[in-house]
Structures are given as structure tokens and as C-alpha cells.
């Protein structure tokens, strides 16, 4: 039987969240990015389990093997799914790590549910705290960027995701590290996701302001970002987050693209283990 939990968010949709639970020890919950699934953590899970940790990965609603509701792709609903998973498994002393869009769940979770169950937070190539360019967030991306992504997903989702996949890992620069097979695999994960979920998540990660939420974080926090990220600029995200979270650490991976969990997996894994220990 697959590992599924029924969530309380958007109750009329009867959403089930797929998860995997590996190893034993202090729990580490990994929150995947858009438009992928928990399968993206293939090269992190074994390293963490073999280091003596219990690792939980799950598929965000609309992605992977979780339910595909038509509505409910706002951060509050998606974070409620995460909360339900943590409560069902009765996890405590958690290291909560989020990649890209997954960083938004971390910020929302800390603000909505507090950090009594959380020992540390790790933001990897994170969108949090705020990607949208506004008068008081000048380093963000113009709204036209997100409107363009939405139009592309509406009109040619497959074509857009194919091109996005190459930019995701700076493929021209890292053909020696990323195979065509890996690109094809990422595309398969992305194209299998809910079209509506893929579309609606753009609004969530592109236009949700989580600056207040991050400023309130009071547990040890690490931000990791690549200095060659062509998808999520580090200035409004990890750099700003580091400034907002008192006492946090910021690690910049030289040459790291957005998908550094693939291109720089050894360096990322070392940073994760060092911070968790």
C-alpha cells in the first residue's frame, strides 16, 4: 500500500499526500521545488539516511503521486498539507529543508504553526521571501516575468517545460555533469504534474510576500544559493532572507545554477550535513 495521508486543507477536495519515510534518527523533511516532485531528492536521501537520519520526502498536492485537486495551490493550503504530514507522523526536533518553491512552505509553516517541532530550517535555491519586484522590493522580478510563465503554461506547457528544464541546470555550462537522460527524467516528472497545479503555483511562488514570516523565524537557519542561478535571483530570495532571519547563515555555491542539487550535489550534501550536525 502506498504511503498516503488525507489532509485537512481544502476539505471538499479530499486531498491525499504521498510520502516516503526512510531511516531512523532525527527527522529531516525535504520539500521539493516546482515543477518537480519528491523524486528530485534522489541524490540527497541516501546520503542523509546513511549519515544516521530519518528522511521524509513527500509530493506537493498536484505533483508526483499526490492528489490533483483543481483548487488549493496557495501557500496556506499547501503548508497545511505539510502540517498534517508532520502531525500524522508525530515528528519532533525536525530539520525542515525546502528547495526553490519549497522555501515558501518553510516560511509559511513557521509563521502559521510555530517552530515547537522544528530544530533547524534550510532554504535551498529558495524563492522566499519575495520574488516580485515592487517599490519596496526593487531586486525582485517584474510581474511580466510571471505573466509570461503563466501564458506559456496555458498555451504550450510541454514546450515551456522542455526549455525551462535546460535553464534550470544551466545545461550549456554543465553538459559534463547533466546527461540528456536526466533532462528527460526531469521533464517527465514535470509534464506528469497537474496542469492546473503547475499554472497556479506560479502565482504562489512568484507573488507571495513572505518577508514578515521570515523575519519572525527564531531557529537556526541556513540559506544555500548558487551564484549562477538563472531562475531565482539570489538578491530578493536567499540574500534578503539571510538579512531578515536573525543569526542565519548564507552559503553561496560558486557556479551553482538553480538545480544545484544535481550539478553540485556533493557540495550541497556536505553543506547539509555540516549544518545539521
Residues that are catalytic: 100, 229, 258
Distance of CA 207 to the CA centre of its chain: 15
**CA pair distance 86, 94, nearest whole angstrom:** 9
Give how far Cα 228 sits from Cα of 173, 253, 260, Å.
10, 9, 10
In 90-216, alpha helices (H): 102-113, 143-168, 180-191, 195-207, 211-215
- Tell me 237's DSSP state: I
CB 106 within 8 A of CB 31: yes
- What angle in degrees, to the nearest 10, is found between the helix axes of 75-89 and 102-113? 70
Give how far Cα 104 sits from Cα of 121, 226, 277, Å.
12, 18, 24
Find all residues with CB under 8 Å of 149, minimum gap 6, and list them. 160, 202, 206
Amino acid at each position: 500500500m502506498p504511503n498516503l495521508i488525507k489532509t485537512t486543507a481544502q476539505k471538499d477536495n479530499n486531498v491525499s499526500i504521498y510520502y516516503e519515510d526512510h531511516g531512523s534518527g532525527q527527522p529531516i523533511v525535504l520539500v521539493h521545488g516546482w515543477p518537480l516532485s519528491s523524486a528530485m531528492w534522489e541524490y540527497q536521501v541516501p546520503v542523509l539516511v546513511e549519515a544516521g537520519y530519518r528522511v521524509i520526502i513527500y509530493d506537493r498536492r498536484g505533483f508526483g503521486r499526490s492528489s490533483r485537486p483543481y483548487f488549493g495551490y496557495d501557500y496556506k493550503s499547501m503548508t497545511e498539507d505539510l502540517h498534517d504530514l508532520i502531525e500524522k507522523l508525530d515528528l519532533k526536533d525536525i530539520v525542515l529543508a525546502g528547495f526553490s518553491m519549497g522555501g515558501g512552505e518553510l516560511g509559511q509553516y513557521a509563521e502559521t504553526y510555530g517552530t515547537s517541532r522544528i530544530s533547524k530550517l534550510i532554504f535551498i535555491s529558495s524563492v522566499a521571501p519575495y520574488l516580485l519586484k515592487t517599490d519596496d522590493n526593487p531586486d525582485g522580478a517584474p510581474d511580466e516575468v510571471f505573466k509570461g510563465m503563466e501564458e506559456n503554461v496555458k498555451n504550450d506547457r510541454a514546450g515551456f517545460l522542455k526549455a525551462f528544464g535546460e535553464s534550470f541546470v544551466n545545461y550549456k555550462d554543465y553538459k559534463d555533469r547533466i546527461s540528456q537522460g536526466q533532462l528527460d527524467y526531469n521533464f517527465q516528472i514535470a509534464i506528469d504534474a497537474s496542469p492546473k497545479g503547475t499554472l497556479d503555483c506560479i502565482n504562489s511562488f512568484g507573488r507571495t510576500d513572505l518577508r514578515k514570516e521570515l523575519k519572525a523565524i527564531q531557529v537556526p537557519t541556513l540559506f544555500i544559493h548558487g551564484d549562477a542561478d538563472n531562475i531565482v535571483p539570489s538578491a530578493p530570495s536567499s540574500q534578503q532572507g539571510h538579512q531578515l532571519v536573525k543569526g542565519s547563515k548564507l552559503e553561496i555555491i560558486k557556479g551553482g545554477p538553480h538545480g544545484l542539487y544535481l550539478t553540485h550535489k556533493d557540495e550541497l550534501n556536505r553543506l547539509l550535513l555540516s549544518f545539521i550536525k
